[in-house]
């Protein structure tokens, strides 16, 4: 393998395997098989939800100490494993030192607690990445693990689309007092 990097080797193997293909006489694998295997790994999905985030004092482009409060509600939850989970709520409040509107796009760790309709809870440690979309929305993607409680060890994917008709409020004397939008949560794990 001298003269070929490991990255090149992986690409060569992938291209070689892709070219193998199945003989034309082989029956096609039903699409449902791949989908059902993936569904078996979904512990719970909450496709409907919302999050409201408030900033006190309102966010501006200049750094300041800001109390951030986030309230979330996830509903229409379902599980293929027959879990009685149908909804969840979260409420988090913390102070960020030297926080400004420019920090909305930072990557960072987040610890949050979901309380399920069953009274059980899940403490999740997530890494948050954010993306600005057309200057009017911020898409927050959080991925991580359930550290304790219900679904401990599960992988979490939480997506929040924070909508605002005026993110330019950061430039105004009033600042950006809050932002809200839809949210989805999915927990995945091994059976």
pLDDT digits (tens, 9 = 90+) for 108-122: 788 889 999 999 999
Cα dist from 78 to 72, 88, 100, 183, whole Å: 18, 11, 37, 15
Least confident stretch, 21-35, 75-89, 159-173: 21-35
* 3 state DSSP class of 103: helix
Least confident stretch, 20-34, 76-90, 146-160: 20-34
Q: How big, in percent rounded to 5, are the helix, strand and coil portions of the chain?
A: 20, 50, 30
Burial class (CB in 10 A: 0-12, 13-18, 19+), 182: middle
The H-or-E segment that residue 156 falls in is strand 155-163
pTM value? 0.70
Q: Are 125 and 113 in contact (CB under 8 A)?
A: no
Q: How confident is the model at residue 102 (pLDDT cuts 50, 70, 90)?
A: confident
Above 60 in pLDDT, residue 65?
yes
Q: Are 165 and 132 in contact (CB under 8 A)?
A: no
Above 50 in pLDDT, residue 85?
yes
DSSP 9-66: HHHHHHHHHHHH---TTSPPPPHHHHHHHHHHTEEEEE-EEEEEEEEEEEE-SS-EEE
């Amino acid at each position: 393998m001298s003269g070929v990097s490991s990255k090149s080797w992986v690409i060569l193997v992938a291209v070689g395997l892709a070219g193998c293909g199945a003989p034309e006489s082989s029956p096609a694998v039903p699409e449902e098989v791949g989908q059902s295997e993936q569904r078996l790994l979904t512990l719970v999905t909450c496709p409907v939800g919302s999050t409201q985030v408030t900033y006190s004092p309102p966010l501006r482009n200049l750094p300041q100490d800001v109390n951030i409060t986030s309230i979330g509600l996830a509903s229409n939850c379902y599980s293929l494993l027959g879990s009685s989970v149908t909804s969840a709520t979260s409420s988090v409040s913390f102070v960020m030192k030297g926080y400004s509107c420019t920090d909305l796009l930072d990557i960072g760790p987040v610890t949050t607690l979901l309380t399920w309709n069953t009274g059980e809870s899940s403490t999740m440690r997530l890494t948050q990445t954010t993306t600005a979309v057309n200057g009017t929305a911020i898409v927050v993607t959080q991925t991580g693990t359930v550290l304790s409680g219900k679904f401990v060890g599960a992988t979490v994917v939480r997506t929040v689309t924070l909508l605002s008709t005026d993110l330019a409020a950061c430039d105004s004397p009033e600042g950006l007092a809050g932002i809200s939008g839809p949210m989805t949560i999915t927990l995945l794990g091994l059976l």
